[in-house]
């Protein structure tokens, strides 16, 4: 029976990194792995990133899994038909109520799928904001979504443990025990791999799947999503004078973007970009307004490249669109000619799930 694992958690918490690392581990053990990404619009950095690992990557774009249960189920079925032994799916980061809208419907309609407990990843910085230990610039309704994600989770994993001191780890563990008594929780690092094997082993045989259906105020949930402008764009990039270094270009692009959004103190959900230079790719991420731009993977030089740019930022989509068009049109990035190929900017619509179960299935 194919194992189906859902990894939820807010924007930037590390879901794609965990999917990639887990897929690599399973593939090394000769397991056939399928991965499913999800977004409000196509042209996803995540799909591009995960496609490097193997062929079995499908994208459900246009709405969250909950609002397109059939699209999600078709993707799972298609990967099963392709021979996937384990499928790992990443719902949109601003999505919650997954136990009522995905896990329990799957238990009822697809009892032949071997569903794992719902794992929710949390960024440590956001964790302290969610539980009220540090102040937050995140909209209270977006924080409400993060709290719901943790409340409904079968497993909470605080990710990015490699960035934490021992004191911080102990503080997090104490807070988890206090705020979520009885719930299985832990710390992992999707980046270094620390804790992944233990998590994977534990969820293989666990039977407590979709155990919590929680009350959700859909007005607050809809508002928490709607405060985020959502932008997916692709562009071809030409250096006006000679060659550009891919890492420098991405760093400048995201840092220029960050400078602009700081003017309106618009908190970041996640800003991510891939630059493809002749098949070699560099990746950049920014996961909070005052965070550092992370640039990684192959560093190359060329006079032309292809850019995929995804931004989820707490600002109206019209303002986000204007800001990114200015940035890409070269008023900010002076050295480049940029031709925008695709451009979508939207505010997520009100979630309207295909199914919503009021009680858990056995
Ligand atoms: N230090 C550290 N960074 C991490 C870890 N896991 C993920 N990251 C970084 O966090 C950022 C976001 O990671 P993603 O895996 O793209 O996050 P995501 O949850 O898939 O984000 P969305 O798809 O936008 O919801 C990237 O810069 C990652 O490199 C980790 O364990 N440690
Ligand atoms: Mg992702």
- What's the distance, CA 237 to chain centroid? 26
| Rounded percentage of the chain residues whose pLDDT exceeds 90 | 90
State the pLDDT at residue 156.
98
Cα separation, 289 vs 332, whole angstroms: 19
State the pLDDT at residue 331.
65
Give span(s): CATH 3.30.70, the chain.
228-346
For the segment 222-242, the average pLDDT, to the nearest whole number, is 93
Model confidence pLDDT, tens digit, residues 18-72? 999 999 999 999 999 999 999 988 888 999 999 988 779 999 999 999 999 999 9
Which residues, at least 6 apart from 39, have a Cβ–Cβ distance to it below 8 Å?
46, 59, 60, 61, 92, 232, 310
Give distance in angstroms: CA of 242 to centre of ligand 1: 33
- Which residues are bridge partners to 120 per DSSP? 8, 156
Token pair for 31 = 């397991």
Closest atom of ligand 1 relative to the 310 alpha carbon: 24
Model confidence pLDDT, tens digit, residues 288-306? 999 999 999 989 999 999 9
State the pLDDT at residue 83.
96
Cα separation, 361 vs 264, whole angstroms: 46
State the pLDDT at residue 263.
97
State the pLDDT at residue 168.
98
State the pLDDT at residue 335.
76
CA–CA distances in Å: residue 360 to residues 42, 79, 217, 269: 32, 26, 19, 31
State the pLDDT at residue 228.
97
Query: With 70 as the cut, is the pLDDT of residue 180 above it?
Result: yes
State the pLDDT at residue 332.
66
What is the 8-class DSSP label of residue 329?
Answer: T
Query: With 70 as the cut, is the pLDDT of residue 102 above it?
Result: yes
Q: For residue 288, which ligand has an atom nearest its CA? A: 1
State the pLDDT at residue 241.
79
Give span(s): CATH 3.40.50.300, the chain.
3-224
What is the architecture, at CATH level 2, of domain 228-346? 2-Layer Sandwich (3.30)
Contact 238, 340 (CB under 8 A): no
Give distance in angstroms: CA of 160 to centre of ligand 2: 14
Cα separation, 114 vs 132, whole angstroms: 36
Ligand 1 and 294: CB distance under 6 A: yes
CA–CA distances in Å: residue 55 to residues 88, 186, 271: 14, 31, 25
The rounded mean pLDDT for the chain is 95
For the segment 189-214, the average pLDDT, to the nearest whole number, is 97
For the segment 226-245, the average pLDDT, to the nearest whole number, is 91
- Which residues are bridge partners to 185 per DSSP? 156
In CATH terms, the fold of domain 3-224 is: Rossmann fold (3.40.50)
Cα separation, 326 vs 343, whole angstroms: 13
Model confidence pLDDT, tens digit, residues 242-254? 888 899 999 999 9
Cα separation, 169 vs 190, whole angstroms: 16
Contact 320, 313 (CB under 8 A): yes
For the segment 89-105, the average pLDDT, to the nearest whole number, is 98
Ligand 1 and 15: CB distance under 6 A: yes
Helix (H) or strand (E) holding 76, with range, is: helix 69-81
Ligand 1 and 344: CB distance under 6 A: no
Q: Among candidates 283, 227, 229, 281, which has minimal Cα distance to 253?
A: 283
For the segment 262-279, the average pLDDT, to the nearest whole number, is 95
For the segment 246-274, the average pLDDT, to the nearest whole number, is 96
| Rounded percentage of the chain residues whose pLDDT exceeds 70 | 99
For the segment 167-193, the average pLDDT, to the nearest whole number, is 98
- Which residues are bridge partners to 260 per DSSP? none
State the pLDDT at residue 359.
96
State the pLDDT at residue 330.
73
Q: Is the C-alpha dihedral spanning 336, 342, 343, 348 positive or negative?
A: negative
Neighbours of 207 (CB within 10 A): 6
Model confidence pLDDT, tens digit, residues 300-354? 999 999 999 999 999 999 999 999 999 988 766 777 889 999 999 999 999 999 9
- What's the distance, CA 64 to chain centroid? 12
Burial class (CB in 10 A: 0-12, 13-18, 19+), 220: middle
For the segment 81-91, the average pLDDT, to the nearest whole number, is 97
> From the DSSP assignment, how many helices (H) and strands (E) are in the chain?
12, 16
Site to substitute for ligand 1 among 9, 39, 190, most atoms within 8 A of C-beta: 190
Cα separation, 313 vs 124, whole angstroms: 19
- Band of residue 196 on the pLDDT scale cut at 50, 70, 90: very high
Which residues, at least 6 apart from 28, have a Cβ–Cβ distance to it below 8 Å?
none
């Amino acid at each position: 029976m194919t194992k189906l694992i859902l990894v939820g958690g807010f924007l930037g918490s590390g879901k794609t990194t965990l999917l990639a690392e887990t897929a690599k581990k399973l593939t090394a053990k000769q397991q056939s792995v399928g991965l499913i990404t999800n977004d409000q619009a196509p042209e996803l950095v995540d799909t591009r990133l995960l496609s490097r690992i193997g062929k079995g990557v499908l994208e459900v774009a246009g709405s969250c899994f909950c609002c397109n249960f059939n699209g999600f189920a078709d993707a799972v079925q298609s990967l099963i038909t392709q021979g996937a032994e384990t499928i790992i799916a990443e719902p949109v980061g601003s999505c919650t109520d997954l136990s009522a809208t995905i896990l329990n419907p799957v238990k009822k309609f697809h009892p032949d799928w071997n569903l794992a407990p719902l794992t929710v990843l949390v960024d440590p910085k956001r964790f302290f904001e969610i539980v009220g230990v540090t102040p937050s610039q995140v909209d209270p309704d977006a924080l409400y979504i993060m709290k719901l994600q943790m409340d409904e989770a079968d497993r909470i994993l605080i990710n990015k443990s490699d960035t934490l001191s021992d004191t911080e780890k102990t503080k997090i563990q104490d807070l988890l025990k206090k705020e979520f008594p009885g719930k299985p929780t832990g710390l992992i690092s999707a980046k270094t791999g620390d804790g992944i094997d233990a998590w994977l082993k534990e969820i293989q045989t666990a039977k407590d799947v979709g155990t919590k259906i929680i009350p959700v105020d859909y007005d607050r949930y809809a508002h928490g999503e709607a405060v985020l402008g959502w932008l997916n764009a692709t562009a071809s990039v030409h250096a006006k004078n000679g060659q550009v270094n891919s890492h420098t270009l991405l760093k400048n692009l995201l840092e220029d973007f960050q400078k602009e959004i700081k003017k309106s103190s618009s908190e970041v959900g996640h800003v991510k970009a891939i630059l493809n230079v002749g098949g070699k790719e560099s990746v950049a991420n920014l996961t909070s307004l005052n965070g550092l731009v992370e640039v990684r993977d192959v560093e190359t030089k060329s006079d032309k490249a292809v850019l995929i740019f995804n931004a989820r930022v707490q600002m109206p989509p019209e303002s986000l669109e204007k800001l990114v068009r200015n940035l890409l049109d070269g008023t900010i990035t002076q050295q480049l000619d940029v031709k925008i190929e695709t451009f979508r900017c939207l505010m997520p619509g009100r979630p309207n799930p295909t199914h919503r179960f009021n009680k858990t299935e056995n």
